[in-house]
Structure 1
Amino acid sequence: MYLCNIIDTHIKSSKQGLREFVSEIASIGRLRHRNLVQLLGWCRRRGDLLLVYDFMENGSLDKYLFDEPKTILRWQQRFKIIKDVASALLYLHEGYEQVVIHRDVKASNVLLDSEMNGRLGDFGLARLYEHGGHPSTTRVVGTLGYLAPELPRTGKATPSTDVYAFGALMLEVACGVRPVDPRKAQHEDLVLVDWVWKMYKEGKLIDVVDPNLNGDFDEREVVMVLKLGLMCSNGAPTSRPSMRQVTRYLDGENLLPDSLMKPHHNNQEGFDEFLNPFGSSFSSSDNIGMYASFPSFTNSPVFTPIGRRETS
């Protein structure tokens, strides 16, 4: 069975643009990791380009966290999913032949298989560059609440910007609250990382944990995830840990520092621009970026596989 996602990507309306698209998708199709959703191929229908993935029986993580979920994930399941996604991102950043920047790490792009393993999917915004090279400047794309504050200024997606998004993911998994959620009016701060930081400084960090867990969690693990989420959400890219460091913290190989730096320091430089880059208001689920539709080639979808699938 296949899961099919419409790709949101900006490519030139030309044969050259299509060739570049296919080349990049072919590279992504060679990714092999137990915590990635396998990209099987692509197809085109009218003005849409679609990516075809393995079907994930339990859908996306967000439906288990927000809006009064029918099924509540236990803490042990949440912690494992966090570690699964961290492992996937470490592979993308360091374990593949090129550096792969996902650019849209968020709960709705974490899919759960039949055994509730977390798998990172949706590579529609991903970018690749050579190890030792430098990422190119591109338009700002992503989802509000997960965008690193330097992105509107530099336009460069890096492993560190993925780390920032992963920090937001950790906080929302632990708290059951979206990174930016105007509907949570009972909180003084509508930005999740600011609220968690405020409670951390007041010595009330446990109070931010998702009440749906009913207190049934490992306090040491929860505190580690929340503090690590704050570290990854630091406003300065150089102050964020790498995904290798993150996995070592999660695996207990390294200990977190006793005190943390404020996530959005230096007068929150760039953060207001991130929240409202175009002078408009956006919901937490809004994607930022100007997307162009690819020209119509055919009225019928034609599935194009990405190479030969490896079997295990």
Structure 2
Amino acid sequence: MNLAVFSAKSYDKTSLTAVVPEQISLHFFESRLTIDTVKLAAGFDAICVFVNDELNREVLTQLKSLGVKYIVLRCAGFNNLDLTACKELGIRCARVPSYSPEAVAEHTVALMMTLNRRIHKAYNRTKEGNFSLSGLMGFNIYGKTVGIIGTGNIGLATARIMKGFGAHVIAYDPFENSKMAESIGFEYTELNTLLTTSDIVSLHCPLTKESHHLLNDASIATMKTGVMIINTSRGGLVDTQSLITNLKSGQIGNLALDVYEQESELFFEDHSSSIIQDDVLQRLLSFPNVIITGHQGFFTAEALEQIAVTTINNLNLFAEEKANPNSLF
């Protein structure tokens, strides 16, 4: 079987090559999959894609005409995939539902702690010989209320860590996991209750029509003044313009993003020698109480290994026409 890997970086090549069997031939494309690059898939039985590859109906129709039978996503989310079109076209799809939830959870907490204790500012100061503590005051997470929206594997891993800090953890999820809530020691609440009572709000839910712009002017207005918001899930969960408005007013006290609504043209690439044309992102980066990382929450050695193993296994199961628990239909 021939597999085309799109949006391929050096680390993708290393991790996938290490686990691929002889019967699968890999070809790596640095290009992101779009309608303009879809012809690169000609002659391949399957393609492997990532979070910012475009898998809309137009692209999928082209893939079908080029002979592509399978799509394996090396990520958990599939909001960039038109699942209805896949079903109609008969292209089998699978994802990696769980690779290393602790990787994203630990990055979430790293962002939280960096923001709170101003580690990024202190690092830059001390490099220049400035050991003043002015402007570096944070707060104890112990005893604070941390609201987790979404209690899948990553949300649960984050809850465990926050309980270790001695925080009061509450959560919202339409599909409650009462056994894990009891085991970890958090409680479920209504979304409005979580928003109005949390000192820190951390997003860990998939991007769907229902969750799109879950945080907006109206919902942010119900939060505590000075709330800390962390998003390591999907950029579209928040209305970016609302973030800017509420940062300016002080309603949001601290903000950390590992994802961004318009990240597809920017993230995973080096733009340090060019002028970034995204004025919204540039405005966000100008705030002293905002930290943005480039979708690196998943980026640990353990996670990459598990992603590679599951991705190749998904493809093998499709090829052997065996049941695949990670299939999207």
TM-score using structure 1 length: 0.27
Greater RCO (Cα-Cα under 8 Å, separation 6 or more): 1
Work out which of the two has the higher radius of gyration on C-alpha atoms and give 1 or 2. Answer: 2
